Structure formats: structure tokens, C-alpha cells
Amino acid sequence: MSTNRRADRRRFFQTGAAAAVGWSFGVPSVHGNGVSPAVVHDGTYIEPSRPVPIMDEADVVVCGGGPAGVAAALAAARAGARTRLFEAHGCLGGIWTSGLLTYILDSGNKPGIMREILTTLQAREKDARRAPSMYDPEAVKLLLEQMCEEAGVEWQFHTQCAAAVRDQTNRLALIVTESKSGREAVAGKIFIDCTGEGDLAHQAGCGWDYGRPETGDAQPMSFVVLLTGIHLDEIRPYVSSMPGDTWAGPKDALAKLIKESSGFGPSYSKPSLFPIRETLFCLMANHEYELQGFDARDVTRASVQGRAELHRMIDGLRGLGGPWKDIRICASPERIGVRESRRIHGRYTISSDDIQHGARFDDAVCRCAFPVDVHSTTADRGKGIEAAPVRAKPFDIPYRSLVAKEVDGLMMAGRCISGDFYAHSAYRVTGNAVAMGQAAGWAAAAATRDGKLPHEIDWSELAKTAPWYEDD
């Protein structure tokens, strides 16, 4: 529905005769054998109360099956906790798989699950000519399902977290899911928000920050596609991240070629063409500015605009003939890539000062070695990577930043943890997300076993019991 149509409908309910007196209509009951009254008043639908069955309970409930969520579920299940994992799309892996960007950054110093994933992928893909850190999304889907199956994780696709319920002690007690099966509740002892957008924590009532504190501007989304019909050896000067290449050279060459062939410059001025196999590539050449990843209307608009731009781009390249004559988009993502969304308030907020000084913490869950990486928050800032006023040294991510400040029994892992704008731009990549998820899952399992809440866990001691523990 367009903005104008939404406004017209709102005015109808607010100013029409029905709004003047209020009105009601019948809503079928859960079992279809009765009617509950419902009311629309002053442009608002008052949803009637209805029973929602508690379909299951678990020790640890994880919302979001991306890199952080899979790692959290694996760590919790391997520690002996009964673990439920809910994912909104049709596969595990998040941005790696439903987002088609299996470009795994800041992973080299991450022991445990991250190392296990990379070792297995490298063994299975040993004959593929690919960019380092780049893997086949389909191979990752299969591997993550196999790992979760072996660990005893119980997971469910096509399921959103629709609501969160706290008990009288301010502890998160259950979530309400929405799926083809309807609305169902799941009770848990400890919950972990790995949704990326911080959806669960937001629904539970946690505070959060977004974008630059002075303006609210946030990093753009990117629509990524998979390409076929081209060969690595024939387009080598335009291919990014191969050994021996400069960072900017292939990107600048590709941007120039896109502009010459399509008549427009890409919305991301440093487009990247990553080889997955000799004839399979991932193209990241799109920025969608000033749209919010937690607003469904904005995400829809970004996806439509991104897909249209990428098709115009590829049509232009195909028109060049030669090595480009058969280029085709063979897959576009289920979900657009979101760099920045809600940063949930935790018991410690990683600051720009922390990352500039390479902060060390007794309760560190991992060490972030990625630099400050801010993609232009608006198109007039250059459409590339902004020069940031801070530079990061390798810094620790403390356990406290994974523990919700305002709701007990709730943790976060991935890019929705507690940090400021510039800290987030360094820790948001998926190598760190896996390490955070792993720590959150291990701590959640220990909390359920010992009858504690996450903020009562001494991570500096618990970490020594983890199978991946390495004393640095």
C-alpha cells in the first residue's frame, strides 16, 4: 500500500462516522466456534484477548538463525541444554545464506565453532577457485543444518518472534511466535536475541540506540546477487579479494565498467565481484540509503530498488558482449543485507574510546580485529566507505555487552549487542557474531544448569570450562 493510501485509510478511521462513535465486529475464536468482540476506535484496532497455547518449553530459546544464532544454539545444546531455535526464513545462516553473502570476515582468531565451520568448508570446497573468506551459500546451508542436527538443536523455519512476555520479577518468561501454524507460545529459562535487528529485546521492552547519536543516520542496506555466465580467467581485472590484489583496484575498474555499460554509476561506489567458483560469483554493488532495517516498508522498498538496480547493471554488462555476453543473475536474496539496526542496551556499552585504545576486559568473549568500517550513511557522503574520526586497535568484546540491561534472563549476540555507532561498525562482521553467539549459548546453558540469570554468571571463570578456551 502506498503512503497516500495508508494516510487516506487512517483519515477514514479518524474522521469518518465510524470513528465518531467507535465500532465493533466479530472475530472468530481460536477454535472457530465462537465470536469475540473487537473494536476500532480513533484509527486504532483494539485486538481482542485470545488464548495462545504454550506449545513447548526449553532451557534456552534462540531467536534468529544467522551466524550468531546458530553458534548460540550449538553451544547451548552441546553443553547439555534443551535448545529451541527459531528462524524467519527457510534456511540457517542468515546473511551468509538467505542473504547470499558468505563472506566471512574477522574469523581467523576465533576458536571453537567459527574454526570448525571454516575447517569443514575448506575441506569440502578445497578444489574451488574462490576468494579467501568467500564460500558457497548452499554449502553453508547444508553444513549448518548438519551441525545443528548432530548437536540436538530443535529448530523451526518460517517463524517470527511476535511478542515477548516478562513475569512479575522482570524476567523474560516466554515468547509468542507467528507462523503458518498460527500464534504459539514457547516458554524458556534463558532467551538469546540473535535477530540482528534486536526484535526480541525490543518486544521485551529493552531500550536501544540507532545510528549516529547526533543525527540518527545509519549505514545503508545492500542487495547482493549471485551471477553466472562469466569465467574467472576472462574477467580477472574486475574480481575482488584475490591474493595479490589491491583493495581498490578491481572495485574501481568494475565501477567504471558498470557506468560505461549501463549509463549510471552504482549506488555503492566500490562494487565487489567475489568469485565463489570459476563460473559462480557474488556481486555487492548496491547501497540503499536512509532506510531502516527494522521497518518492513523500508525493507520492502530497499529490496525492490536493489533488485531493479542490479538487473539494470547486469543487462548493461551483458550488452558489452565478449566475456560478458552470457552473464546472468542466477539468484537474489530472500533478505536484503542490513548493516545497522537496533543496538540493545546492555550491562556494558562498548565505546569509541574502548576501540581506539584496544580495550581489554576480564570478561572478554572474543577479540575484534576488524577496523572501523562505516559505509556512507547518506548518498551525499560519497557512496563508499567514510573516513571515520576514530581508528580501532584490536579490542575485546566483553560478556556484559551481551547481557540485557533492562530485562532479566535475556542475552544478545551479533550486531544487536550493546555498543556505540563506531564500535558497532567494527564488531558487526560475522566472524565476531559467531564468537558472540558461542559465548552467549555457553553462558545460557550454564545459567539454566546452575539456576542463575545471565548477569549472575562469572564469565571470566566459565570461559575456562569451554572446549574452545585459549588463554591469550
Do 327 and 344 share a domain, yes or no? no
Q: For cell 511476535, what's the residue? A: 162
Residue type, 241: S
Per-residue pLDDT of the chain (472 residues; tens, 9 = 90+): 455 555 555 454 454 444 444 444 444 444 444 456 678 888 899 888 889 999 999 999 999 999 999 999 999 999 999 999 999 999 999 999 999 999 999 999 999 999 999 999 999 988 899 999 999 999 999 999 999 999 999 999 999 999 999 999 999 999 999 999 999 999 999 999 999 999 999 999 999 999 999 999 999 999 999 999 999 999 999 999 999 899 999 999 999 999 999 999 999 999 999 999 999 999 999 999 999 999 999 999 999 999 999 999 999 999 999 999 999 999 999 999 999 999 999 999 999 999 999 999 999 999 999 999 999 999 999 999 999 999 999 999 999 999 999 999 999 999 999 999 999 999 999 999 999 999 999 999 999 999 999 999 999 999 999 999 988 6
Distances (CA, A) of 321 to 226, 260, 278, 327, 328: 19, 13, 19, 9, 13
State the residue range of the domain holding 270. 224-331
Number of domains in the chain: 3
What are the contacts of 296-301 at 24+ separation with CB within 8 A? Answer: 299/221, 299/336, 299/338
* Residue 250 main-chain phi, psi, to 5 deg: -65, -35
The overall longest dimension of the chain from CA atoms, in Å, is: 72
441 and 310 fall within a common domain? no
- CB-side exposure of 398: number of CA atoms within 13 Å? 23
Q: Are residues 263 and 175 in the same domain?
A: no
Is residue 219 in a domain?
no
Question: Do the domain assignments include residue 306?
Answer: yes
DSSP 88: S
Q: Quick one: 467 exposed, middle or buried, by C-beta within 10 A (0-12, 13-18, 19+)?
A: exposed
Judged by phi (left if over 0) then psi (alpha if -120 to 50, else beta), residue 382 lies in: left
Does 247 lie in the same domain as 179? no
Answer whether residue 353 is part of any domain.
yes
In a domain, 252, yes or no: yes
Q: Give CA 130 to chain center in angstroms.
A: 24
pLDDT in tens, 307-339: 999 999 999 999 999 999 999 999 999 999 999
Neighbours of 471 (CB within 10 A): 5
pLDDT at 27: 46
Q: 392 with 455, same domain? A: yes
Domain boundary among 11, 29, 46: 46
Residues 178 and 150 grouped into a single domain? yes
Asked whether residue 217 is assigned to any structural domain, the reply reads no
148 and 247 belong to one structural domain: no
pTM: predicted TM-score of the whole model, two decimal places: 0.92
CATH label of the domain that carries residue 416: 3.50.50.60
Q: Please tell me the distance from the alpha carbon of residue 135 to that of residue 464, in angstroms, as a whole number.
A: 31
Helix (H, G, I), strand (E, B) or coil at 343: strand
> Are 103 and 150 in a shared domain?
yes
Question: Helix, strand or coil for residue 328?
Answer: strand
Judge if 79 and 167 occupy the same domain: yes
What pLDDT shows up at residue 48?
86
8 A C-beta contact, residue 174 and residue 187? yes
Q: Are 103 and 198 contained in the same domain?
A: yes
| Cβ atoms of 188 and 402 closer than 8 Å | no
- Whether 110 and 175 map to the same domain: the answer is yes
Q: Is 397 helix (H, G, I), strand (E, B) or coil?
A: strand
Would you say residue 368 lies in a domain?
Answer: yes
Q: Is residue 297 part of a domain?
A: yes
Domain with residue 267: its CATH number is 3.30.70
Q: What pLDDT shows up at residue 247?
A: 92
Residue whose C-alpha is closest to residue 448's, from 64, 185, 80: 80
pLDDT at 43: 87
C-alpha cell at 110: 576465533
The reply to whether 155 falls in a domain is yes
Q: Is the domain of 282 the same as that of 418?
A: no
